[in-house]
């Protein structure tokens, strides 16, 4: 294993898309940001220096951070932000993971422009459990806003309304030819005939689940969130914000005299407005025959309709852990603690003397177990480690909400939610099952839930209300998909299991950034174990202060 060093200088950079030039926050002036590459087992030392006026943190999305929670990155959860002129070295080791992940800013909406691939190669001389790819290509989806996303979210939070949607989706930062003023900003993938390409696909968009497809080519899914799955073929992939996946693309044996669009557009389940535009890139065969033809015919893929829940359900049902002797699925078979959490939208009162644009003059809010999470002003992990939780958080997260109504039926009259900075405490090595139930209080919606510090197994899901007697009978405890982000179905429920073997404070939230901003987030506090190697490491000396 090696130690790899990176330097992230956070600085402003002028970037033009759709004929709009904005000064955006970047890493090293790049948009999207630089690739971080490591092998399983390597240590990463990434020095982040803040040269902008915003406070910054960076999250290594999907990295388990075993005992190294100080390097996880969510602002006010594991660290105070890096302030202007300061730096912080994120120091962590990649243990037992290989595949595609990503890094992104984890404060306010700065991940709109601060994100990039995090690629973990297998250990030296260890092969992939599939054919060796000829080339590996990152494909990272994002969103482009013609105005400043920080202004968009702060205006939405003040007025209580829904924020403006993005103006385009992007592939590797480029909106592509289907948008006005964008043809020259198109991602092109030049390929050779008869080869296998590994596409490392990341959804870094703020607010939209995406369908992705390449015209006249099928894709083989081999991995999800840096865990191998049983390979399967599909024409279209569904990927939620926070999810990553590796796909094999086998190119045609004889050079076709054509070019092929790759496109992505959203899967929409919720109420409210969405950016329903389509991003496109181009797959081109390098062969001389194709190159000599000036105007190649261009084939477009057919994507599922925007609200195609049948496709989404069918696709996610096909994801199964590889569960091989070399890559076993260690699904917790027995459960120490069972939790039932609701996830969904609600409302909070408008500030006195203000007019709010949310439902019935209130503000939008979003919750886990009907609690809209209030961000503290100091970091939870520091408060825990130093034994100074008083005034920062309370350890009374409600584990089972009142069963006051039929969650997916008619909404209740009272849509007001509670709030607080509440943590759920778990002793070391607790085996946990969490059922997350979407609610219809303000309309059902699919919520891509992301857990920090762990992968979990998706042992069950369904539509309607969870039935605690009958639904567990059909749980998959053999080869359920293992991942860090999963969509709770709109108007349905989802059951996950994980082993709490990583001491620290671990954020869990909807990866639709607007829902995170509205409070659809909570944190687990996993206590130290008895043995020395079961304890959270002490904080690094350069850990930022609030
Ligand atoms: Cu990708 Cu808490 O985030």
Ligand 1 contacts CB of residue 67 (under 6 A)? no
Could you identify the residue written with the tokens 């620290």?
504
Query: Which pLDDT tens digits describe the chain residue by residue (546 residues)?
Result: 999 999 999 999 999 999 999 999 999 999 999 999 999 999 999 999 999 999 999 999 999 999 999 999 999 999 999 999 999 999 999 999 999 999 999 999 999 999 999 999 999 999 999 999 999 999 999 999 999 999 999 999 999 999 999 999 999 999 999 999 999 999 999 999 999 999 999 999 999 999 999 999 999 999 999 999 999 999 999 999 999 999 999 999 987 888 999 999 999 998 888 999 999 999 999 885 655 556 788 999 999 999 999 999 999 999 999 999 999 999 999 999 999 999 999 999 998 777 899 999 999 999 999 999 999 999 999 999 999 999 999 999 997 765 557 898 888 888 999 999 999 999 999 999 999 999 999 999 999 999 999 999 999 999 999 999 999 999 999 999 999 999 999 999 999 999 999 999 999 999 999 999 999 999 999 999 999 999 999 999 999 999
For ligand 1, the distance from its centroid to the CA atom of residue 511, given in whole angstroms, is 6
Ligand 1 contacts CB of residue 141 (under 6 A)? no
For ligand 1, the distance from its centroid to the CA atom of residue 173, given in whole angstroms, is 19
For ligand 1, the distance from its centroid to the CA atom of residue 106, given in whole angstroms, is 7
The backbone region for 177, taken as left when phi is positive above 0, alpha when psi lies in -120 to 50, beta otherwise, is: alpha
Ligand 1 contacts CB of residue 106 (under 6 A)? yes
* Greatest CA separation for the chain: 71
Would you give the DSSP letter of residue 170?
E
Beta strand residue intervals within 243-362, DSSP E: 244-250, 259-267, 279-285, 298-299, 337-348
Ligand 1 contacts CB of residue 461 (under 6 A)? no
Ligand 1 contacts CB of residue 452 (under 6 A)? yes
Atom of ligand 1 nearest to the CA of 507: 2
The answer for residues whose C-beta is within 8 angstroms of residue 119's C-beta and 6 or more apart is 35, 36, 37, 38, 100, 101, 136, 138, 200
Return the pLDDT at 287. Answer: 80
For residue 147, what are its two tokens?
A: 């105005």
For ligand 1, the distance from its centroid to the CA atom of residue 69, given in whole angstroms, is 14
Ligand 1 contacts CB of residue 373 (under 6 A)? no
Ligand 1 contacts CB of residue 61 (under 6 A)? yes
Return the pLDDT at 109. Answer: 98
Ligand 1 contacts CB of residue 448 (under 6 A)? no
Interface confidence, given as ipTM, is: 0.99
Ligand 1 contacts CB of residue 507 (under 6 A)? yes
H or E element, residue 385: helix 380-385
For ligand 1, the distance from its centroid to the CA atom of residue 90, given in whole angstroms, is 16
CA atoms of 55 and 83, how far apart (whole Å): 5
For residue 319, what are its two tokens?
A: 């994801």
CA atoms of 303 and 350, how far apart (whole Å): 40
For ligand 1, the distance from its centroid to the CA atom of residue 202, given in whole angstroms, is 13
Ligand 1 contacts CB of residue 509 (under 6 A)? yes
Atom of ligand 1 nearest to the CA of 452: 2
- Which DSSP string corresponds to 391-419? TT-BS---SS----S-TTSSPPS--B-EE
Atom of ligand 1 nearest to the CA of 111: 1
For residue 151, what are its two tokens?
A: 């202004």
Atom of ligand 1 nearest to the CA of 104: 1
**Would you state the torsion angle of the CA atoms of residues 498, 499, 502, 504, taken in this order, to the nearest 10 degrees?**
70
Could you identify the residue written with the tokens 């000036």?
294
CA atoms of 537 and 425, how far apart (whole Å): 18
For ligand 1, the distance from its centroid to the CA atom of residue 59, given in whole angstroms, is 7
Ligand 1 contacts CB of residue 450 (under 6 A)? yes
Nearest CA residue ID for atom 3, ligand 1 = 61
Atom of ligand 1 nearest to the CA of 73: 2
For ligand 1, the distance from its centroid to the CA atom of residue 459, given in whole angstroms, is 22
CA atoms of 336 and 309, how far apart (whole Å): 33
Return the pLDDT at 354. Answer: 78
For ligand 1, the distance from its centroid to the CA atom of residue 137, given in whole angstroms, is 23
For ligand 1, the distance from its centroid to the CA atom of residue 254, given in whole angstroms, is 42
CA atoms of 504 and 536, how far apart (whole Å): 6
Ligand 1 contacts CB of residue 104 (under 6 A)? yes
């Amino acid at each position: 294993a090696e130690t790899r060093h990176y330097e992230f200088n956070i600085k402003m950079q002028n970037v033009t898309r759709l004929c709009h030039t904005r000064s955006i926050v970047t890493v090293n002036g790049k948009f999207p940001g630089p690739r971080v590459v490591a092998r399983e087992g390597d240590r990463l030392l990434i020095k982040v220096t803040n040269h902008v006026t915003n406070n910054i943190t960076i999250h290594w999305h999907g990295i388990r951070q075993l005992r190294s929670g100080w390097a996880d990155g969510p602002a006010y959860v594991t660290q105070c932000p890096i302030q202007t002129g300061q730096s912080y070295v994120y120091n962590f080791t990649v243990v037992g993971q290989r595949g595609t992940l990503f890094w992104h800013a984890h404060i306010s909406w700065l991940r709109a422009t601060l994100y990039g691939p995090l690629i973990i190669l297998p250990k030296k001389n260890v092969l992939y459990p599939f054919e060796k790819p000829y080339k590996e290509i990152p494909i990272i989806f994002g969103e482009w806003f013609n105005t400043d996303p920080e202004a968009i979210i702060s205006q939405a939070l003040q007025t209580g309304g829904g924020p403006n949607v993005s103006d385009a989706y992007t592939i590797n930062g480029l909106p592509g030819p289907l948008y006005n003023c964008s043809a020259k900003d198109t991602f092109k993938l030049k390929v050779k005939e008869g080869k296998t390409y590994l596409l490392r696909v990341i959804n870094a968009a703020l607010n939209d689940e995406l369908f992705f497809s390449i015209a006249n080519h099928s894709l083989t899914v081999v991995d999800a969130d840096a865990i191998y799955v049983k390979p399967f073929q599909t024409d279209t992939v569904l990927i939620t914000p926070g999810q990553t996946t590796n796909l094999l693309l086998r190119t045609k044996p004889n050079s076709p005299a054509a070019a092929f669009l790759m496109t992505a557009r959203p899967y929409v389940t919720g109420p409210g407005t969405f950016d329903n535009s389509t991003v496109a890139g181009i797959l081109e065969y390098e062969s001389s025959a194709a190159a000599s033809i000036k105007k190649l015919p261009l084939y477009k893929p057919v994507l599922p309709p925007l609200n195609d829940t049948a496709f989404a359900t069918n696709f996610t049902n096909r994801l199964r852990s590889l569960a091989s002797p070399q890559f076993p699925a260690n699904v917790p078979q027995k459960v120490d603690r069972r939790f039932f959490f609701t996830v969904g939208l609600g409302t909070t009162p408008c500030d006195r003397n203000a007019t709010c644009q949310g439902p019935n003059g209130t503000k939008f809010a979003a919750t886990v177990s009907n609690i809209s999470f209030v961000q503290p002003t100091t970091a939870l992990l520091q408060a825990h480690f130093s034994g100074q939780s008083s005034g920062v958080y309370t350890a009374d997260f409600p584990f089972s909400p009142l069963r006051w109504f039929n969650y997916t039926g008619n909404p209740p009259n009272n849509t007001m939610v509670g709030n607080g900075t509440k943590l759920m405490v778990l002793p070391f090595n607790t085996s946990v099952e969490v059922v997350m139930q979407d609610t219809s209080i303000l309309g059902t919606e699919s919520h891509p839930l992301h857990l920090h510090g762990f992968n979990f197994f998706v042992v069950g899901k369904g539509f309607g209300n969870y039935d605690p007697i009958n639904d567990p009978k059909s749980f998959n405890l053999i080869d359920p998909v293992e991942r860090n982000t999963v969509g709770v179905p709109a108007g349905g429920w989802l059951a996950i299991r994980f082993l709490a073997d990583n001491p620290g404070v671990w954020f869990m939230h909807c990866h639709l950034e607007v829902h995170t901003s509205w409070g659809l987030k909570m944190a687990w506090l996993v206590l130290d174990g008895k043995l020395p190697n079961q304890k959270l490491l002490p904080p690094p000396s350069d850990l930022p202060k609030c």
